[in-house]
Structure 1
Amino acid sequence: MDLYIYYQVKDADAAPLQAAVVSMQAELAAQHGVTGQLKRRPEAKDGMQTWMEVYAATPDGFAAALGAAAEQAGLFAWIAGARHTEVFTDLAPCA
């Protein structure tokens, strides 16, 4: 299963949030073998940026570990509003 987590951040909070997310992703990679990606929309709107974390091919239990890691890393201090998670799975190939 692939996880896509998106949220908004104020322009002024982008630098400290980026540092926290990069550190959290490095720790998750070391502990769970899942390399995360950090992306953002190219444009900001009303001083807000939209960011996305992507975690592909995650093992069972990773979503809970990610939630705990986000809490421990203090991400919510810089995120404006909710942190939304979308889950996608691969389609089975046609025979």
Structure 2
Amino acid sequence: MCLVISAQDALLHGGDITVKIYRKQDKSQINILAKGKSIKNNEEQNFILTATDLSDDNITLFNVHAYYVYYLKKMVNASISCEHGEDYISYIIEQ
């Protein structure tokens, strides 16, 4: 849910958010795609989400959702990748 909120924050002028869930045997994947005009790319957030080893010394009010997702990702042994372009941002969670 935090990534859906992050996707919403990236949509400066509105747009669409699509969430797709895939399951194959013992693996799962969640794709969150936000499409709209003028996507805001939060590089700090993307760095936190995709990090593999991170200290929590720099948690702020503005990045707490990213840290929360980072620790959940570590707890369930998942990975997150971020892709962005001029009119979209995509988060892919794999476990």
**Under TM normalisation by the shorter chain, which class is it?**
0.3 to 0.5
Q: Highest relative contact order (Cα 8 Å, sep 6+), 1 or 2?
A: 1
Q: When the two structures are superposed, what TM-score results if normalisation uses the length of structure 2?
A: 0.43
**Bigger helix fraction:** 1
Q: Larger Cα Rg: Structure 1 or Structure 2?
A: 1
Q: When the two structures are superposed, what TM-score results if normalisation uses the length of structure 1?
A: 0.43
